[in-house]
Chains A and B, each alone.
Chain A
Amino acid sequence: MIPIISVTNLTKKFGDMTAVDGISFSVPTGGIFAFLGPNGAGKTTSIKMLTTLLAPTDGTIEIGGKSPQTDQDAVRRMFGIVFQDPSLDDELTAYENMEFHAVLYSVPVTLRKPRIEELMRFVDVWDRKDSLVKTFSGGMKRRLEIARGLLHHPQIFFLDEPTLGLDPQTRNHIWAYIQKLSKEEGITVFFTTHYMEEAQRVAQQVAIIDHGHIIATGTPQELMTKTKSASLEDAFLSLTGHEIREEEASSKDAMRNRRRMWHGGR
């Protein structure tokens, strides 16, 4: 199958810190692909480069045969995204957030209303369409973001920890939506998560990144067989070790923030 995303030798450096170090992988068209790794492994940085938000230091990315650097708008039209942190405007209503997105992505005026309604019904937020988003719960915001990301009929759907901080009911709901989408509309789903059982259940292909390197790729079953583990979580731990990374990553983040505050966004 022709890959919809191919990444070759992708590298990103922040000053002398290398966040992503020469990674290569490809994502088959139409599948569900999990991009896993401990905190600070380089997942979010990679997604930012794939989605035109960050320029790579080195290496090439092809999304549907186009480069996020030189063909930004074509690539941007091709994907939808749900970011790790909420990215809705709290002061606008749910419907207005959707409409804003529709206008930015040039969804034709006549299709706008039915498409927005269809998607908001799909994620069960249509009855709250005129409420300000700041009155929404975390789960509702997430669902609305999923609906928004799908509004312009993307071929690829990026989800950066889409179920973080949500209760099991909402998480199950969200995965059910996503699997349905992938099956019925043939959308390629690219997601990250820390919940390994979700990845094991949903993903057809997995890539594990650690310290900026891809250390394993394959189906969940292949990774489990390779590491002689009973679950993907055990396979993940056996591949990435038990050391906790949180501290290192967050202090680096804070440093990067402080530096950016004084020297401009780099």
Chain B
Amino acid sequence: MNAIYILWLRQLKRYFRSKSRMVGSLGQPILFLFALGFGMGPVYAKAGQGNYLQFLVPGVVSMGILFTAIFSGVEVIWDKQFGFLKETLVAPVSRLSIMFGRTLGGATVAVLQGCIVLVLSMLFGFRFPITALPMALVCMFFIALLFTALGTALASVLEDMQGFQLIMNFLVMPLFFLSGALFPINDNTPQVLKLITAFDPLAYGVDGLRDVLIGVTHFGLPLDMAVLSLVTVLFVVLGSYLFSKIQI
């Protein structure tokens, strides 16, 4: 239990100490809010869909969480290369606790990052009922946990950062762009796209968060939460398994 706590704390300390990372990872969400939010807004309104910024924010918040979470998980590679992982692996602590501690820490950091994006988006004019906040945090935490576990699972099988670009381009980017974070999924969406979206776990995160924050949904919150929790459990189990198999 103490081991989980100290590993969690370590992730938080690392996050708060690397200001450049914190600020750096806010650049992208801000760009999306500014360029897409304001740029696409008039077109979206003309199409009779209402306020695009309101629609976009849950997607961009999810994006912030996704990137931070995957990155936190992938940090295991750094620890492998810089040797710190060995220190934790020879300690009389189960691999499961190590994995849980790190993953919870990474997920907490990702939720914090999501909260910062949410607050920033209010400066751009985003509004949501404050009573929705607790449920929104639950959604955000699930997204964060899911993708931190996925990142950890990936990092467990990769030896160095050369594979990171591969993950970004062939996993993280498609996860984001095909999640419906930027466009609505409805009856007019091409079938192929709709089908792919149904297999993207982030789509359920974005949809759930959107339902909670602005009351717009495609899958419905119960399905969103069911899929999210199921996939999260799956990835945590997978991540724990692969992490326990690391040999250095």
Task: Give A contacts to B, CB under 8 Å.
Answer: 48, 51-55, 72-74, 76-77, 79, 81, 83, 85-92, 96, 99-101, 103-106, 132, 148, 257-258, 260-261, 264-266
Name the residue of chain A whose CB is nearest to the CB of B246. A265
- Evaluate contact between B90 and A51: CB separation under 8 angstroms: yes
B84–A103 CB distance below 8 A? no
Q: Could you count the A-B residue pairs with CB atoms below 8 Å apart for me: how many are there?
A: 89
The 4 closest A-B pairs by CB, nearest first: A261-B159, A87-B83, A104-B91, A76-B92
B240 → A minimal CB distance (Å): 15
Q: How far is the CA of A76 from the CA of B98 in the complex (A)?
A: 15
> Do B91 and A264 touch (CB < 8 A)?
no
Q: Given A83-B83, A86-B83, A91-B18, are A104 and B162 neighbors across the interface (CB < 8 Å)?
A: no
A53-B86, A53-B248 given as contacts; is B17 within 8 A of A91 (CB)?
yes
With contacts A87-B83, A90-B82, A261-B159 taken as known, whether A96 is within 8 angstroms of B13 at the C-beta atoms is: yes
- Cα–Cα, bound, A85→B85 (Å): 12
The minimal Cβ–Cβ distance linking A234 to chain B, given in whole angstroms, is 34
Taking the complex as formed, is B242 at the interface, i.e. its CB lies under 8 A from any CB of chain A? yes
CB neighbours of A79 from chain B (8 A): 90
User: Cβ of A264 and Cβ of B92 under 8 Å apart?
Assistant: no
In the complex, residue of chain A having the shortest beta-carbon distance to the beta carbon of B83: A87
Per the bound structure, the CA–CA distance linking A105 and B91 in Å amounts to 6
- Chain B interfacial positions (CB closer than 8 Å to A): 2-3, 5-6, 10, 13-14, 17-18, 82-93, 156-160, 162-163, 242, 245-248
- Alpha-carbon distance between A85 and B5 when the two chains are bound, in angstroms: 26
C-alpha gap A132/B83 in the complex (Å)? 16
**A261-B84 CB under 8 A given contacts A53-B248, A54-B247:** no
Contacts of B14 in A (CB 8 A): 89, 91-92
- Whether A100 and B6, one on each chain, are in contact in the complex, defined by CB atoms closer than 8 angstroms, is yes
Are A89 and B162 closer than 8 Å at their CB atoms?
no
Cα–Cα distance between A264 and B246 once the two chains are bound (Å) = 8
**Given known A106-B2, A265-B247, contact A53–B90 (CB-CB < 8 A):** yes
**Max chain B Cβ within 10 angstroms of own Cβ: one of A73, A90, A91, A96:** A91
Chain B nearest CB from A11 CB (Å) reads 16
Q: Is the CB of B86 within 8 A of A103?
A: no
Known: A83-B83, A88-B84, A261-B158. A100 touches B10 (CB 8 A): yes
Query: With A51-B90, A103-B3, A103-B6 in contact, is A264–B157 under 8 Å at CB?
Result: yes
Residues from chain B with Cβ under 8 Å of A266 in the complex:
247
Q: In the complex, which residue of chain A has the Cβ closest to the Cβ of B87?
A: A87
Minimal beta-carbon separation of B90 from chain A (angstroms): 5
Q: In the complex the two chains form, what is the Cα distance from A76 to B162 in whole Å? A: 32
Asked whether, in the complex, the Cβ of A86 is within 8 Å of the Cβ of B82, the reply is yes
B246 to chain A, nearest CB (A): 5
Residue contact B245 to A265, C-beta cutoff 8 Å: yes
Q: Is the CB of B162 within 8 A of A261?
A: yes
Q: Contacts of B2 on A, CB cut-off 8 Å?
A: 103, 106
Could you give 21 example pairs across A and B, Cβ below 8 Å?
A: A53-B90, A53-B247, A55-B247, A76-B90, A83-B86, A87-B85, A88-B84, A89-B87, A90-B82, A96-B13, A100-B10, A101-B91, A104-B91, A105-B91, A105-B92, A106-B2, A132-B17, A257-B159, A265-B156, A265-B157, A265-B159
